[in-house]
């Protein structure tokens, strides 16, 4: 009986732990053969644009499946995109993903500030307007807030991602033009989005 229990334990544990490639594409590129992953193997390619300056980053790693989202978020002065793929077999994340390409405006507009005097032209699959806030961690700003366009995948993923990171957040998406009113943008937004992207890329 003890032998059976040991064998069950060994095979059950092995079934829960994948081997995944872990690579960070930088200068130079660094990779390790694999790691023991209790979640999913994943490929992630992200962009982060501020003031016309864009940073791109690509990783292959191990992540909880809630981080596997693909889409964009656009507040006008700040834009981020994530292209990700998760898989559940050993070393299945063997190919790097490309970043999402620049896409044309799709005709939808969303508010970019509290009174909607500034708007954002949504691009590509950004078919939702988003508004949200989280504690900023900055004494002068009680909350980091955002307003703008977002993809459905981003809207669906932000709540479980913030829960996974144990961040208290109030994030809502809507489908009508200029439907995201009543929350203003402040400087804490940069920290919030940066933290989310960093968590996805380096968790």
Q: Which residue has the tokens 């939808």?
A: 108
For residue 7, tell me if it sits in a domain: no
For residue 3, tell me if it sits in a domain: no
pLDDT at residue 188, as a whole number: 43
Q: pLDDT tens string for the chain (203 positions)?
A: 443 333 333 333 444 578 999 887 655 567 777 778 999 999 999 999 987 788 998 889 999 999 999 999 998 888 999 999 999 999 999 888 899 998 999 999 999 988 889 999 999 999 999 998 766 554 444 556 679 999 999 999 887 888 888 877 778 899 999 999 764 434 344 445 555 555 555 55
pLDDT at residue 190, as a whole number: 46
Neighbours of 176 (CB within 10 A): 10
pLDDT at residue 198, as a whole number: 54
Number of domains in the chain: 1
For residue 5, tell me if it sits in a domain: no
For residue 6, tell me if it sits in a domain: no
The reply to whether the predicted model has a pTM over 0.75 is no
pLDDT at residue 133, as a whole number: 73
What CATH number does the domain containing 190 carry?
A: 2.10.60.10
Q: Which domain holds residue 91?
A: 18-202
For residue 11, tell me if it sits in a domain: no
pLDDT at residue 203, as a whole number: 53
For residue 62, tell me if it sits in a domain: yes
For residue 149, tell me if it sits in a domain: yes
For residue 10, tell me if it sits in a domain: no
Token pair, residue 158, equals: 């932000």
pLDDT at residue 25, as a whole number: 66
CA-to-CA distance for 90 and 111, rounded, in angstroms? 44
pLDDT at residue 134, as a whole number: 60
């Amino acid at each position: 009986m003890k032998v059976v229990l040991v064998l069950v334990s060994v095979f059950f544990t092995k079934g829960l732990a994948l081997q995944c490639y872990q690579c960070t594409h930088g200068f130079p590129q660094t990779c390790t053969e694999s790691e023991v992953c209790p979640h999913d193997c994943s490929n992630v390619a992200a962009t982060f644009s501020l003031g016309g300056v864009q940073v791109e980053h690509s990783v292959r790693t191990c992540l909880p499946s809630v981080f596997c989202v693909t889409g964009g978020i656009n507040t006008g002065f700040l834009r981020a995109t994530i292209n990700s793929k998760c898989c559940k077999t050993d070393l299945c994340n063997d190919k790097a993903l490309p970043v999402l390409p620049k896409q044309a405006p799709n005709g939808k507009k969303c508010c970019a500030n509290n009174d909607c005097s500034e708007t954002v032209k949504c691009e590509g699959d950004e078919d939702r307007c988003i508004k949200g806030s989280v504690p900023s961690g900055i004494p002068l700003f009680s909350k980091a807030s955002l307003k703008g366009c977002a993809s459905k995948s981003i809207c669906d993923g932000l709540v479980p991602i913030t829960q996974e990171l144990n961040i208290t957040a109030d994030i809502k998406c809507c489908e009508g033009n200029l439907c995201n009113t009543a929350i203003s943008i402040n400087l804490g937004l940069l920290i919030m989005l940066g933290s989310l992207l960093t968590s996805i890329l380096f968790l």
